[in-house]
């Protein structure tokens, strides 16, 4: 039995039997994009601060390895508690409530000291008891007065002043918006210079997340304290972005 196939049917069968070859990169339509990287930096005036004050008491020095007087340790702790209570009362009189005043737990450790310049002399040690107080200040005009009150009430160290802003998210969003606006400005500048037209945004990526880093002032001891020197500067917030735009197929004339 013989089967005859017409030409159109034969050609269709041959086409179905041929392998499908992938489109090579050279044959694929070229991607028309422009990639722009931009950053922005803004300066912000702080509007709040946190003070880190420390009260310290210590027992008399004894030779290394010697017996510590338990009564001396108890006396030092009681003296520290009394001073802490007096300081907290003074701060409350200035209008600082419990929500803005954080008293830490007692910290107890042994401190070793070398007496004089004689390296051969035996080391002496003592028990040191500390308590830290963190004071949140939402009105920076009150800061000098609070610092004066701290030293007037006998704090041993002011470990630092941490300046910050209350609207952190708003400041970080502002830096990010400025970085995006700068990226758009750069993309339009390049497109105009090359006589092409910007299309849709294809990809957006943060290259530097906008992070506000609070500013920390240096430490100070009682004899070095001067409230007039605690003036805030500005806090810098940086942000960076990487943006890809497609380019329209039809170029435009450069009117510049």
- SS3 annotation, the chain: CCCCCCHHHHHHHHHHHCCCCCCCCCCCCCCCEEEEEEEEEEEECCCEEEEEEEEEEECCCEECCCCCCHHHHHHHHHHHHHHHHHHHHHHHHCCCCHHHEEECCCEEEEEEECCCCCCCCCCEEEEEEEEEEEEEECCHHHHHHHHHHHHHCCCCEEEEEEEECCCHHHHHHHHHHHHHHHHHHHHHHHHHHCCCCEEEEEEEEEEEEEEECCEECCCEEHHHCCHHHCCCCCEEEEEEEEEEEEECCCCCCCCC
Q: Which of 143-152, 198-207, 224-233 has the lowest mean pLDDT?
A: 224-233
Which percentage of the chain shows pLDDT scores above 90? 48
Residue 234 inside a domain? The answer is: yes
Mean pLDDT of the chain: 81
CATH classification of the domain holding 185: 3.30.110.170
Residues 214 and 148 in one domain: no
Q: Which of 108, 133, 164 is the last residue of a domain?
A: 164
When pLDDT is averaged across residues 53-61 and rounded to a whole number, the result is 93
pLDDT tens digits for 211-236? 777 666 644 444 444 544 566 778 88
What's 130's domain CATH number?
A: 3.30.70.2970
Give me the pLDDT at residue 48, please: 92
Question: 115 and 205, same structural domain?
Answer: no
pTM of the model as a whole: 0.67
Q: Which of 122, 146, 164 is the last residue of a domain?
A: 164
- Tell whether 72 and 148 lie within a shared domain: yes
Q: How many domains does the chain have?
A: 2
* Cβ within 8 Å of residue 66, ≥6 positions away: none
Give the pairing of strands 101-103 and 157-164: unpaired
In-domain check, residue 232 = yes
User: What is the reported pLDDT for 69?
Assistant: 77
Identify whether residues 54 and 120 lie together within a single domain: yes
Same domain, 59 and 144: yes
Residue 6 lies in a domain: no
Domain that holds residue 181: 30-45+168-247
Q: Is the domain of 146 the same as that of 189?
A: no
- Which one is predicted more confidently, 70 or 116? 70
Q: Among 130, 164, 198, which residue terminates a domain?
A: 164
Residue 203 lies in a domain: yes
Structure tokens of 91?
Answer: 């701060």
């Amino acid at each position: 039995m013989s089967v005859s196939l017409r030409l159109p049917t034969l050609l269709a069968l041959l086409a179905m039997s041929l392998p499908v070859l992938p489109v090579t990169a050279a044959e694929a339509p070229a991607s028309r994009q422009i990639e722009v990287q931009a950053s922005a930096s803004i300066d912000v005036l702080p509007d709040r601060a946190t003070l880190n004050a420390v009260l310290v008491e210590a027992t008399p020095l004894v030779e290394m390895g010697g017996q510590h007087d338990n009564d001396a340790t108890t006396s030092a702790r009681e003296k520290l508690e009394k001073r802490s209570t007096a300081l907290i009362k003074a701060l409350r009189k200035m209008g600082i409530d419990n929500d803005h005043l954080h008293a830490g737990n007692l910290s107890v450790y042994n401190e070793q000291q070398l007496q004089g310049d004689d390296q051969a002399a035996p080391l002496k040690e003592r028990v040191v008891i500390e308590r830290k107080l963190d004071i949140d200040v939402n009105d920076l005009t009150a800061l000098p007065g609070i610092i004066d009150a701290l030293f007037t009430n006998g704090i041993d160290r002011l470990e630092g002043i941490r300046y910050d802003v209350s609207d952190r998210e708003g400041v970080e969003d502002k830096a990010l918006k400025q970085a995006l606006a700068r990226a758009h400005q750069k993309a339009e500048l390049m497109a105009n210079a090359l006589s092409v037209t910007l299309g849709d945004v294809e990809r957006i990526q943060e290259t530097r997340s906008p992070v506000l880093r609070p500013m920390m002032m240096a430490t100070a001891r009682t004899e070095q304290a001067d409230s007039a020197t605690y003036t805030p500067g500005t806090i810098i917030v940086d942000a960076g972005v990487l943006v890809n735009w497609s380019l329209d197929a039809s170029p435009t004339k450069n009117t510049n």
